[in-house]
Chains A and B, each alone.
Chain A
């Protein structure tokens, strides 16, 4: 690991001032960053430790019914917050399907959003990677790429964003609160992560010094609590990143879908909201045919980036299954294996 200066600011303003310099990186739990630093993938000159800042670890319901989650809330504390789990069950299920219990205890909300891809070529400093080193090339294109992107990828980069948490969040219109050198601003989570295009080294809309201070779920996000699921196909049942995942949330009124929310994970460089598929379901009965049509629409633009054409059909089936499970109703208890398609859950049918 390269040497670095360690700075522990006392306020968010001090943190921004310390992190605005080139070569600086924020340190929260470090569950991803330290791993990257040990491998020489990330080589910051300065770590700005935000873990001791006050006021970033609260989960609060705002006057308008929004939920505001401080950036330093741990993944485990959020998932196990009873009010949170009841109000946003698909988000809790997604959190609990990610990483291991040890990592969830440490890893933070802000860090989860900003974690890096797990593309093996990004991690291997002997490989060419346009994301790690702009313009160096992409060894994933001709490499082991069965897990890579099928949506939004470019010739420069076919990496995926690995977060589970972000998938239901983007479906529920989450907003990211950012503090930067010109003050406070907020953007939709859907706008936070960049698609690779010709500059995969730029991964987010954040500018130097910007720090995520909170994630907010708007009041309408609670309206899906009765019909919301997250489903995740992994190479092993637990402690693995998604090959493909989907969040499905429905608002059902008088036997019809009043509103649907669908997002995919493991398929692109960002959590992939599929509004066209949501539109298919508006005002129709929650039937297998309607879900089939929505699943088809969700993957219309997908194309393989390598040996991963199977992910397109897999994603269709996972959307179909997630919608079917969501329509059957959020289970009173989380499945023993969160988000697993192999968990015994009533109402599951095979797409």
Chain B
């Protein structure tokens, strides 16, 4: 049986007909939309490489059936920059060498963006490490990742202050 769903992906509404309910959001993004920035690492919810925002919240897209997320608003790594202007978290990862091979990086960045929106970590490095523990980096670039997140958090706090001043 076919299932029709519609999603908003990076701001654009997309309609899909799924001929198999087993398709995950991860596979839909990669195979149907060719948005391959979202990575398939473990495919079992353990590594975080497939992290995307669904209705503003970070989740593992490998453990989400597309058919169940009919109507969802999805943000992937392809949707965070504004044209050529990188998202502050993307820029901070480059500035702080927050990666080596880069495979986990889209998931790390999406997770960091989600974490900042959750406002549970602030600028406490121990909280950042705790709140980012769902994203593994096998190259071990954690020190750079934490520095990048701290820097981006600082920049965003500053720009928020400027906006409210």
Contact = CB atoms under 8 A, between A and B. Distances in A.
A238 B120 CA distance: 15
Given A47-B21, A105-B57, A30 B118 contact: no
B48 A102 contact: yes
User: Which secondary structure characterizes the binding site on chain A?
Assistant: loop
A1 interface: yes
B129 interface: yes
Nearest to B119: A80
Interface in B47-98: 48, 51, 57-60, 63-65, 67-68, 70
Interface stretch (A3-11, A163-171, A172-180): A3-11
Interface stretch (A31-39, A126-134, A183-191, A220-228): A31-39
Given A80-B120, A101-B111, A106-B59, A35 B44 contact: yes
Contacts of B114: 101-102, 105
A101 B131 contact: yes
A49 B134 contact: no
Contacts of B64: 29-30, 34, 106
A136 interface: no
A103 interface: yes
A103 B60 contact: yes
A106 B57 CA distance: 9
Which residue, A34, A102, A338, has most C-beta atoms of chain B within 10 A? A102
Interface string A1-43: 1011110100000000000000000010111001100110000
Q: Which size bracket describes the interface of B in this complex?
A: 35 or more
B130 A337 contact: yes
Contact of A102 (B3, B20, B59): B59
Q: Is the interface of B mostly helix, strand, loop or mixed?
A: mixed
Interface in A149-208: none
Given A31-B60, A38-B43, A101 B118 contact: yes
A100 interface: yes
B115 interface: yes
Q: How large is the interface on A (under 10, 10 to 19, 20 to 34, 35 or more residues)?
A: 20 to 34
A115 interface: no
A244 B68 CA distance: 35
Contact of A34 (B51, B65, B132): B65
Contact of B126 (A31, A51, A336): A336
B65 A27 contact: yes
B45 A35 contact: yes
A39 B42 CA distance: 12
A106 B1 CA distance: 27
A4 B22 CA distance: 8
B32 interface: no
A171 to B, nearest CB: 24
B63 A336 contact: no
A100 B48 contact: yes
Interface of B: 1, 3, 20-22, 24, 43-45, 48, 51, 57-60, 63-65, 67-68, 70, 111, 114-115, 118, 120, 124, 126-127, 129-135
Given A6-B1, A34-B64, A52-B68, 12 more contacts: A29-B64, A31-B63, A34-B24, A34-B65, A38-B43, A38-B44, A49-B65, A49-B68, A80-B120, A100-B135, A106-B60, A336-B127
14 contacts: A6-B21, A34-B24, A34-B45, A39-B44, A49-B65, A49-B68, A80-B120, A100-B135, A101-B115, A101-B132, A102-B45, A102-B111, A105-B57, A106-B57
The 4 closest A-B pairs by CB, nearest first: A100-B134, A6-B21, A238-B133, A239-B133
